[in-house]
Amino acid sequence: MTEQKLILAVETSCDETSVSVIENGTKLLSNSVLSQIDSHKRFGGVVPEVASRHHVENMTMMVENALETADKTMDDIDAVAVTQGPGLIGALLVGVNAAKALAFAHQKPLIPVHHIAGHVYANQLEQGLKFPLIALIVSGGHTELVYMKDHLNFEVIGETRDDAVGEAYDKVARTIGLSYPGGPIIDQLAAKGEDTYDFPRVWLEPNSYDFSFSGLKSAVINKLHNQKQKGETIIPENVATSFQNSVVEVLVGKAMRACEDYGVKQLIVAGGVASNRGLRQALQQETEKRNIELSIPEPKLCTDNAAMIGAAGYYIYEKGIRGDMSLNGKSSMDLEMYN
């Protein structure tokens, strides 16, 4: 029988305070997530100072909750994993310091985890990663295509040159007058509308896997301002469908080309926007046509959570990577750090 390793993981990179207990990087024993969305809604986006304060207020309770749900104590835990970055620095520091305190007080190894590695490893909690694979990472802060030929071997082959896809969703939503975060609301509206606006698809150079969403975002904003000036009626459902079709076509087109060029078995999707129904549907169709396995975590594992940090943390732990008491949060971090 293989030895069981229990990881306690902490995630505070943005506006979710989350603590989880994971067995061998695959089995979820608890995943306590406290979303701060209601506190940030009235400001139309995440306010970093407010996020840090909420993390401080809730951290102890979340650790207790995750241990209790898993029916474990700190004595049972083999290592403490924590999101080191990238993210909001003040928010990250709360998690890093909590993890350091727990590791120090209970004499456990400390494992620094890259937030995006976490999003990728959310897939390890369900279907499991099958190499070689392409990961399409679509969140509020990141849009990336990553090639992996083995565990923790990340090769970033494409990234956004301006806005992240989730950011574009949230900005377009704000222009239509929707609340924060706008991504899920646009997704719902898009299911009811028609593609009447013919927004641009930005492909960049023919061989590029990079993305650019700021042109599309400006096109939507300009079109809406023009319509308003002319006194024309704006149909939010049609704006949503037209915008989402443009985003999905480019994301799916580039992801499929990457899968073919790299000859992979599996496409995994990660990050908050991975819950988008239009994207999920299009990816399902296109991967089926090409006989590529598609892995998308259930929505609660797509948005920020500590379970995914524990899943990645297990492999980082097995690789022998450790943090010490000088570990600091980092607002930006290289995903290829584990190679």
| Nearest-approach distance from CB 180 to ligand KG4, in angstroms | 8
297 binds ligand KG4 (CB under 6 A): no
Question: Which range, of 37-45, 57-65, 133-141, 324-332, touches ligand KG4 by CB under 6 A?
Answer: 133-141
* Residues near ligand KG4 (CB under 6 A), total: 19
Taking phi first (over 0 means left), then psi (-120 to 50 degrees means alpha), and beta for anything else, what does residue 204 get?
left
Question: Which range, of 45-53, 67-75, 96-104, 131-139, touches Zn ion by CB under 5 A?
Answer: 131-139
| Nearest-approach distance from CB 253 to ligand KG4, in angstroms | 18
Say how many Å lie between the first and final Cα of the chain, rounded: 29
Q: Which does 187 bind (CB under 5 to 8 A by kind): Zn ion, ligand KG4, none?
A: ligand KG4
The residue assigned the tokens 């207020």 is: 57
| Among positions 123, 139, 241, 246, the unique one binding Zn ion when judged by CB under 5 A | 139
- Buried-exposed string 156-184: b where 16+ CB fall within 10 A, e elsewhere: bbbbbeebbbbbbbbbbbbbbebebbbbb
Question: Which range, of 62-70, 91-99, 183-191, 252-260, touches ligand KG4 by CB under 6 A?
Answer: 183-191
User: Of 139 and 276, which has the nearer Cβ to Zn ion?
Assistant: 139
CA distance 192 to 278: 12
In eight-state DSSP terms, residue 188 is: H
Q: Binding pattern to ligand KG4, positions 14-53, x when CB under 6 A?
A: x---------------------------------------
CA distance 267 to 291: 11
SS3 26: coil
304 binds Zn ion (CB under 5 A): yes
| Among positions 17, 20, 97, 139, the unique one binding ligand KG4 when judged by CB under 6 A | 139
Q: In terms of Cα–Cα distance, which of 182, 162, 142 is closest to 46?
A: 182
Determine whether the annotation assigns residue 141 to a binding site.
yes
Tell me the residue length of the chain. Answer: 339
| Among positions 17, 275, 287, 295, the unique one binding ligand KG4 when judged by CB under 6 A | 275
Cα–Cα distance list, 104 to 99, 109, 122, 199 (Å): 8, 8, 27, 54
270 CB-contact burial (10 Å; exposed 0-12 / middle 13-18 / buried 19+): buried
- Structure token digits, residue 231: 């006194």
Could you tell me which residues are beta bridge partners of residue 18? 11, 33
CA distance 61 to 57: 8
Determine whether the annotation assigns residue 157 to a binding site.
no
167 binds Zn ion (CB under 5 A): no
| Nearest-approach distance from CB 244 to ligand KG4, in angstroms | 8
Determine whether the annotation assigns residue 263 to a binding site.
no
Cα–Cα distance list, 100 to 95, 105, 262 (Å): 9, 8, 39
| Nearest-approach distance from CB 236 to Zn ion, in angstroms | 27
Binding-site residues for substrate: 137-141, 170, 183, 187, 276
Which residues would be at the binding site for ligand KG4 (CB under 6 A)?
14, 139-141, 166, 169-170, 181-184, 187, 271-273, 275-276, 303-304
Mark the binding-site residues for Fe cation, compressed into ranges.
115, 119, 304
